[in-house]
Amino acid sequence: MTTTATAPVPTNKLGLTKQDYVGAKSTLCPGCGHDAITAQIIQAAWEMNLEPHNVAKLSGIGCSSKTPTYFMSQAWGFNSVHGRAAAVCTGAALANRKLLNIVTSGDGDSMSIGMGQLVHMIRRNVPVVYIIEDNGVYGLTKGQFSATADVGSTLKHGDVNEIQPIDPCTLAMELGCGFVARSFSGNPKQLSTILKAALAYEGTALIDVISPCVTFNNHDSSTKSYKNAKDREMPLQELGFIPYYDHEEMELADGQAMEVGLPDGSRLTFRSVGKDFDVTDRLKAMKEIHEAHDRGEFLTGIFHIETGKPVIHDFTHAIDEVLATIPQERVKPGPEVLEACMRELM
């Protein structure tokens, strides 16, 4: 009998391997940016020791909305209707506040048909990591412009977009979203850090990830092609992340770096690259992003973070327990209550 020595498969704090966080095989186009995002969701979920059974992964309709199938097969998935995962997620969150919610959406799903639900979800600060896999184009219906397409960007067949785009990030900041970031599917290190920080956040965390569509929007005259995004990307910060279970001191290299504590005990560190950008100054940050956009720059990084904001459960004034499974004797008032109600009506 011979044994082959193999390196032990690394496990996280729950004893789960990264393999335990994967899902079904992707059916998206080979090279799709969305698959790179899925890979980082798996990485971040594994590193953050998410209990798969306590994760709800929800989506709307579109290429991006197919992705919950491709990660965490031991989590509960819900591929709902176009643009409206936000409401389904709100319902799930109200029913069971112990769930950790991840929504994957796209620019078509969130910035057009789903705009109404997204903005109101942000207003209510529903606990969710809301990822917009943003390629500027409708992929599943074969290449129409979406509402994030830049002015002057062209479709494969030459049509030029003349209508100004909607920026999901500045919109979310305007609405008071407490965690807003932009990343690029071609920047896995930054994306992974942002995802971990978002998973540690307590309210709505919105991440707009530029994710090139290799089939319909990857030509040279598109502003959301790999090449264009790679050439123009300007990361705002070098990000560091110290997970909640790690108590070691991180050395902050110079005076410009700052640290933000996250609700679960994790810590996020920033060191500005080039620009002086304050993630806690919402209005100033919005101005910077607008100006950078006008200059044709593609800023990535964490744009805004504010912890301690009230979430939807604070607005409903509901008990801290899981409402879905609260037993009958606590939610069905007794006969004496009905009698009292009847007496009032006599």
Partner 1 sequence: MLTQASTSESVGGATLVNDFSIEVATVNGSGSQTANTVLMRTIFQMGVPVTGKNLFPSNIAGLPTWFQIRANHKGYKARKAGIDLMICMNPETAKEDVAKVAPGTVLIYDEPLKLNALRSDLAFCPVPFQKLVAASCPEPKLHKLVKNMVYVGVAAQMIGLDMIEVKSAIAKQLNGKQKAIDLNQAAVQAGFDWAAAEAPRQDHLRIERLDKTKGQIIIDGNTACALGAMFAGVTVVAWYPITPSSSVIEQLIDYAKEYRRDPATGKLNVAIVQMEDEIASAGVVVGAGWAGARSMTATSGPGISLMSEFIGLGYFAECPGVFVNVTRMGPSTGLPTRTSQGDVELCAKCSHGDTLHICLYPGNMEECFQFTYQAFDLAERYQTPVFVVTDLDLGMQNWASEPFAYPATAFDRGKVLDEAQLREIQDWGRYKDVDGDGVCYRTLPGTPGGKGAYFTRGTGHNPYALYSEKPDEFKATVDRLKRKFMTARTHVPKPVIQGPGVSRGILAYGSSDPAVAEARDLLKDLHGKDTDYLRVRALPFTQELEAWIDGHEVVYVVEQNRDGQMAGLLKEAYPQWALKLRNVLHYDSTAITAQTIVDQINAFEA
Please tell me whether residue 81 binds partner 1 under the rule CB under 8 A: yes
Count the site residues for partner 1 by CB under 8 A. 60
Residues 146 and 112 sit within 8 Å (Cβ to Cβ) = yes
d(CA 156, CA 220): 9
Residues 173 and 199 sit within 8 Å (Cβ to Cβ) = no
β pairing state of 204-210 and 233-235:
unpaired
CB atoms within 10 A of CB 267: 17
Please tell me whether residue 73 binds partner 1 under the rule CB under 8 A: yes
Closest distance of CB 81 from partner 1, Å? 5
CB atoms within 10 A of CB 335: 7
Q: Is the dihedral of CA 187, 192, 198, 204 positive or negative?
A: positive
The position carrying tokens 């909607």 is: 166
Closest distance of CB 267 from partner 1, Å? 28
Q: Convert residues 294-333 into a mask of x (bound to partner 1 by CB under 8 A) and - (unbound).
A: ------------------xx-xxxxxx-xxxxx-x-xxxx
Q: From the centroid of its chain, how far is CA 204? A: 8
User: CB under 8 A: which stretch of 78-86, 148-156, 189-197, 227-235 binds partner 1?
Assistant: 78-86
For partner 1, the binding residue among 36, 43, 63, 68 (CB under 8 A) is 68
* Nearest alpha-carbon partner for 74 in 98, 51, 104: 51
Nearer to partner 1, 291 or 339 (CB): 339
β pairing state of 298-305 and 233-235:
parallel
Helix (H, G, I), strand (E, B) or coil at 10: coil
* Nearest alpha-carbon partner for 124 in 176, 201, 199, 200: 176
Please tell me whether residue 80 binds partner 1 under the rule CB under 8 A: yes
Interacting positions 155-214 with partner 1 (CB under 8 A): none
Nearer to partner 1, 196 or 313 (CB): 313
Backbone torsion region of residue 276, taken as left when φ is above 0, otherwise alpha when ψ lies between -120 and 50, otherwise beta: beta
Please tell me whether residue 346 binds partner 1 under the rule CB under 8 A: yes
* Nearest alpha-carbon partner for 161 in 148, 173, 174: 148
Nearer to partner 1, 283 or 341 (CB): 341
Q: Convert residues 113-142 into a mask of x (bound to partner 1 by CB under 8 A) and - (unbound).
A: ---xx--x---x------------------
Closest distance of CB 209 from partner 1, Å? 22
For partner 1, the binding residue among 39, 42, 86, 302 (CB under 8 A) is 86
For partner 1, the binding residue among 12, 78, 202, 307 (CB under 8 A) is 78
Under the rule (CB under 8 A), what is the footprint of partner 1? 51-54, 56, 58, 68-69, 73-81, 84, 86-92, 94-96, 98-99, 116-117, 120, 124, 312-313, 315-320, 322-326, 328, 330-333, 335, 337-339, 341-342, 345-346
